[in-house]
Chains A and B, each alone.
Chain A
Amino acid sequence: MRIMITTVASAALLAACGGPEESSSEALEDTAPGETSVTTPGTLEAGEDFPARLQTALIEAEEGATIALPAGTFRMSDGLSLDVDGVTIRGAGQGETILDFSGQRGSGEGLLVTSDDVTLEGFTIQETKGDGIKSKDADRIIYRDLTVEWLGEPDEENGAYGVYPVESTDVLVERVTVRGASDAGIYVGQSDNIIVRDSKAHYNVAGIEIENSTNAEVYDNDVTDNAGGILIFDLPDLPVMGGNSTRIYDNDIYENNTRNFAPPGNIVAGVPSGTGVIIMANDKVVVEKNTFRNNQTAQVAIIAYSEPFTDEDYNPLPRNIVIADNSYENGGYNPQGELGAFAPLLGGNLPPIVWDGVTRWGEEEDTDVNLVIDEGEDIGFVNLGLGSYPINVSNAAPSDQRPDSEPFGELQPVKLAHAE
């Protein structure tokens, strides 16, 4: 009884000085600011106001905490974000915990991570309006056992990237499935020390893309039904350039013949449907021991950046490229897009390995691009012999002669100390 009196008295006093602790719980539409039914940090129950409670838990998490998500499908009303170091978000499993963003009203992505040492695992993100999961300046991040997907047929209206780590050091993406991204399913940009493995990229414009990044390994992935399978790109006018040292190996890259459904204007909109691997404007890229089959335009394309640029620090040419010990089956039988334009010069089909033959930019000196084609003699190759940009089919001088080249040694294995 006395306790009750104390409470009432305190409440009255607090009310008198304008700071009542017991809010009149005013209805604030569909969220209850500041209110949470989370009893202990790290556990989250299904039920009313799940999106607001989850976001509050992400904000109030202690460093190193684990936030466990229950099984079930949860409709999210806005993008989520995490900015606390060392947090793990763990769902009940891919397809078990589903965060459905089809009703998303704001934000550029489903989940944004901006802190270090974060692990995301065991959940599915669907139908985000922009990107699926983005992590920026988030070092030592782990994406594990996740699905990011847009349902239905490939659609220009789908979000751009599925998983999207950018400007980060030490990035691990493993056992992740991405479907339906209108740009790249798994995209790593402007980052260093990267592993993408054991993942599935299906029905995206680009399956896996490593862009303006250094020291990457992409292996044991299943890459199919994209327009382009794996892209290794470097683009001008970005804070981080000079992409180099990427090894692509032991991937299964097949039937990447989905139409290119990227909205025009984006760089991937130029990817010809049916391309297995594209290496553009990068240094030291090794493509080995992969399986290629039924990619209708080309199994491997090695090309220069083809747009005008003003950035003096940018090198638009691929150089020091090794293509070795891959297996090839039935490719180049129906070439599409810009590469398709050259097919008539070659009798209608393209060989497995296509190089645009660009060795200089504008009036500059020729560069030794050092293209190492270390494949059996029976594996077809073409140098389109363009010499310089702009691309013009009439400048083509195709040759099946493999260029003189010199191996540049082994790339250092990528080690991720946080994910041994």
Chain B
Amino acid sequence: MRSALTTLLALLLAACGEKAAGPDMAAILAEKPPATLAAYGLFSDLAAREPAKGVVAYDLVNPLFSDHAAKHRLVFVPDGETARYEDDEVFDFPVGTVLIKTFAFAPDMRQPSVDERYRETRLLIHKPDGWAAFPYVWNAEETEARYSPAGAWLDLTFTDPQGNAIQTEYRVPNQNQCKTCHQLGDAIAPIGPKARNLNHEGPYGHAQLADWSARGILSGLPDAPPTVPDSSDETASLEDRARAYLDVNCAHCHRLEGSASNSGLFLGWSVDEPTKLGIGKHPTAAGRGSGNAVFVIEPGRPDRSILTYRMDSTEAGIAMPELGRSLIDADGVALVRAWIAGMETAASGD
């Protein structure tokens, strides 16, 4: 008995020692996820503010709207390996890659870094048999984030970026809901890290894609990778801004390989057929989500377009996206409304 105890203590101490050394490939590639975020060794502190060596912060030109959450993104690519550049899709990341996204709220989101509190951290890990998603929920002290496959509902109170007082039930998605948005054909895949959506100055103050190349985590970067405008950049065209917004907020499901494939409504950046984009398109399975409108987009008539009706709702069964938000993105709605309002009406045939 005594020797067993000694062995156990030795093992535990050894485990501690490993963690301090940086990302733990055994934990990253394990079949079952560790119970705590700390066990991966992706951070050098318990509060996950200090990325471990090899863990790189990044951000996106246009983030998905998630109830005004601030998001802190990091990527870990195993030592000596690189993500292979792709022009249109997410980069081809090697097995062992971890994409880390922490969702945080401050009491006043006009000053998001003041008294910011971490609420959840989602990991997307490229396991040997494909990507898998793992939600971790932070405790109140922000000392520990625990694996939470069933997700959680969090009561949140904060002031939004427009200065409105918000009280909401924030949904930490369960593991299957992670998959719903990240579905790509029969597998799951990351959504955000595409060339066009990374192609700007990143958090380290450098051109982000070139910086990834220089750090040795990206290979095959061409001279002129594609770009999309920041959807809030008023110097860009309304159409490009709206399309960039829909690309990031809708097209992960609304594409031929996505969870909403059966709708026939495809909202990706490179879609160019008007009907596929919803212009003059009847709904397929909208039910009361149609809001009594006949077309997904009726040119010139945002009030009679299903797209804006569903963006402007928080009600289950109507709201789009179906997952990932319980608030309305008023800026996004205004942008898409303005785009539809500016369309030529002749195409609708009325």
CB within 8 Å of B: which residues of A?
2, 5-6, 9-10, 13-14, 16-21, 23-24, 26, 28-31, 33-34, 52-53, 55-56, 58-60, 77-79, 81-83, 104-108, 112, 114, 128-131, 136-137, 156-161, 164, 166-167, 182-183, 187, 189-190, 235, 237-240, 263-267, 307-308, 310-311
Q: Are A237 and B152 in contact (CB under 8 A)?
A: no
Enumerate chain A residues within 8 angstroms of B146, measured Cβ to Cβ: 23, 33-34
Interface check B221, CB cutoff 8 A: no
Enumerate chain A residues within 8 angstroms of B172, measured Cβ to Cβ: 33
List 16 extra interface pairs beyond A13-B9, A237-B276, A265-B292, CB under 8 A.
A17-B12, A18-B19, A33-B146, A34-B35, A59-B150, A59-B174, A59-B176, A77-B153, A106-B316, A112-B176, A137-B186, A182-B288, A189-B262, A239-B261, A266-B286, A308-B280
Q: Are A34 and B149 in contact (CB under 8 A)?
A: yes
Q: Are A106 and B285 in contact (CB under 8 A)?
A: no
Stretch in B177-185, B198-206, B328-336 with 4+ CB within 8 Å of A: B177-185
Q: Are A59 and B292 in contact (CB under 8 A)?
A: no
0/1 interface trace, chain B 230-261, chain A, CB 8 Å (1 if under): 00000000000000000000000000100101
A24 to chain B, nearest CB (A): 7
Which of B36, B39, B186, B326 has its CB near the most chain A CB atoms (within 10 A)?
B36
B10 to chain A, nearest CB (A): 11
Q: Are A16 and B264 in contact (CB under 8 A)?
A: no
Q: How far is the CA of A18 from the CA of B175 in the complex (A)?
A: 24
Interface check B315, CB cutoff 8 A: yes
Enumerate chain B residues within 8 angstroms of A60, measured Cβ to Cβ: 149
Q: Are B285 and A189 in contact (CB under 8 A)?
A: yes
Q: Given the known A-B contacts A18-B19, A33-B151, A130-B317, are A136 and B259 also in contact in the complex, defined by CB atoms under 8 Å?
A: yes
- Say which residue of A5, A158, A164 sits within 8 Å of B285 (CB atoms): A164
Q: Are A18 and B38 in contact (CB under 8 A)?
A: yes
- Say which residue of A6, A158, A160, A311 sits within 8 Å of B5 (CB atoms): A6
Q: Given the known A-B contacts A17-B15, A167-B261, are A26 and B140 also in contact in the complex, defined by CB atoms under 8 Å?
A: yes
Enumerate chain A residues within 8 angstroms of B125, measured Cβ to Cβ: none
Enumerate chain B residues within 8 angstroms of A263, measured Cβ to Cβ: 286-288, 290-292
Q: How far is the CA of A366 from the CA of B221 in the complex (A)?
A: 55
Which of B13, B15, B175, B306 has its CB near the most chain A CB atoms (within 10 A)?
B175
A79 to chain B, nearest CB (A): 8
Shortest Cβ distance from B143 into A: residue: A18
Q: Are A160 and B287 in contact (CB under 8 A)?
A: yes
Interface of A is mostly: loop
Enumerate chain B residues within 8 angstroms of A189, measured Cβ to Cβ: 262, 284-285
Interface check B81, CB cutoff 8 A: no
0/1 interface trace, chain B 273-314, chain A, CB 8 Å (1 if under): 011100011111111111111110000000000100000000
Enumerate chain B residues within 8 angstroms of A58, measured Cβ to Cβ: 176
Enumerate chain A residues within 8 angstroms of B326, measured Cβ to Cβ: 105-106
Enumerate chain B residues within 8 angstroms of A52, measured Cβ to Cβ: 150
Interface check B214, CB cutoff 8 A: no
- Say which residue of B137, B169, B322 sits within 8 Å of A28 (CB atoms): B137
Q: How far is the CA of A28 from the CA of B155 in the complex (A)?
A: 9
Q: Are B285 and A160 in contact (CB under 8 A)?
A: yes
Q: Are B285 and A107 in contact (CB under 8 A)?
A: no
Q: How far is the CA of A151 from the CA of B316 in the complex (A)?
A: 18
Q: List 28 A-B contacts (CB under 8 A).
A: A17-B16, A18-B36, A18-B38, A19-B36, A20-B36, A20-B144, A23-B144, A33-B147, A33-B152, A33-B172, A106-B171, A106-B316, A108-B316, A108-B322, A114-B179, A114-B183, A160-B287, A160-B289, A167-B261, A167-B262, A182-B288, A183-B287, A189-B284, A237-B276, A264-B294, A265-B291, A308-B349, A310-B274
> Closest 8 A-B residue pairs measured CB to CB?
A160-B287, A33-B148, A265-B290, A17-B16, A130-B317, A129-B317, A129-B316, A81-B176
Q: How far is the CA of A24 from the CA of B39 in the complex (A)?
A: 17
Q: Are B148 and A29 in contact (CB under 8 A)?
A: no
Enumerate chain B residues within 8 angstroms of A129, measured Cβ to Cβ: 315-317
Q: How far is the CA of A310 from the CA of B147 in the complex (A)?
A: 49
Enumerate chain B residues within 8 angstroms of A6, measured Cβ to Cβ: 5, 8
Q: Given the known A-B contacts A10-B8, A130-B316, are A59 and B155 also in contact in the complex, defined by CB atoms under 8 Å?
A: no
Shortest Cβ distance from A181 into B: residue: B287
Enumerate chain A residues within 8 angstroms of B9, measured Cβ to Cβ: 9-10, 13
B21 to chain A, nearest CB (A): 12
Q: Are A18 and B144 in contact (CB under 8 A)?
A: yes
Enumerate chain B residues within 8 angstroms of A105, measured Cβ to Cβ: 153, 169, 171, 316, 326
Interface check B113, CB cutoff 8 A: no
Q: Are B264 and A265 in contact (CB under 8 A)?
A: no
Q: Are B151 and A81 in contact (CB under 8 A)?
A: no
Which of A6, A9, A108, A311 has its CB near the most chain B CB atoms (within 10 A)?
A108
Q: How far is the CA of A48 from the CA of B38 in the complex (A)?
A: 29
Enumerate chain A residues within 8 angstroms of B271, measured Cβ to Cβ: none
Q: Are A237 and B149 in contact (CB under 8 A)?
A: no
Q: How far is the CA of A89 from the CA of B309 in the complex (A)?
A: 35
Q: Given the known A-B contacts A14-B12, A159-B317, A238-B284, are A29 and B152 also in contact in the complex, defined by CB atoms under 8 Å?
A: yes
Enumerate chain A residues within 8 angstroms of B143, measured Cβ to Cβ: 18
Enumerate chain A residues within 8 angstroms of B292, measured Cβ to Cβ: 263-265
Q: How far is the CA of A20 from the CA of B1 in the complex (A)?
A: 23
Shortest Cβ distance from A191 into B: residue: B262
Interface check B154, CB cutoff 8 A: yes
Q: How far is the CA of A81 from the CA of B46 in the complex (A)?
A: 32
Q: Are A17 and B19 in contact (CB under 8 A)?
A: yes
A191 to chain B, nearest CB (A): 10
Q: How far is the CA of A53 from the CA of B147 in the complex (A)?
A: 15
Shortest Cβ distance from A83 into B: residue: B176
Enumerate chain B residues within 8 angstroms of A239, measured Cβ to Cβ: 256, 261-262, 264
Q: Are A265 and B294 in contact (CB under 8 A)?
A: yes
Q: Are A237 and B264 in contact (CB under 8 A)?
A: yes
Enumerate chain A residues within 8 angstroms of B57, measured Cβ to Cβ: none
Q: Given the known A-B contacts A83-B176, A235-B284, are A107 and B316 also in contact in the complex, defined by CB atoms under 8 Å?
A: yes
Enumerate chain B residues within 8 angstroms of A240, measured Cβ to Cβ: 262
Interface check B227, CB cutoff 8 A: no
Q: Given the known A-B contacts A9-B9, A18-B36, A26-B140, are A237 and B275 also in contact in the complex, defined by CB atoms under 8 Å?
A: yes
**B 1-28 contacts with A by CB, 8 A:** 1, 5, 8-9, 12-13, 15-16, 19
Which of A10, A16, A130, A156 has its CB near the most chain B CB atoms (within 10 A)?
A130
A148 to chain B, nearest CB (A): 14
Shortest Cβ distance from A310 into B: residue: B275
A406 to chain B, nearest CB (A): 34
Q: Are A182 and B262 in contact (CB under 8 A)?
A: no
Interface check B29, CB cutoff 8 A: no
A47 to chain B, nearest CB (A): 15
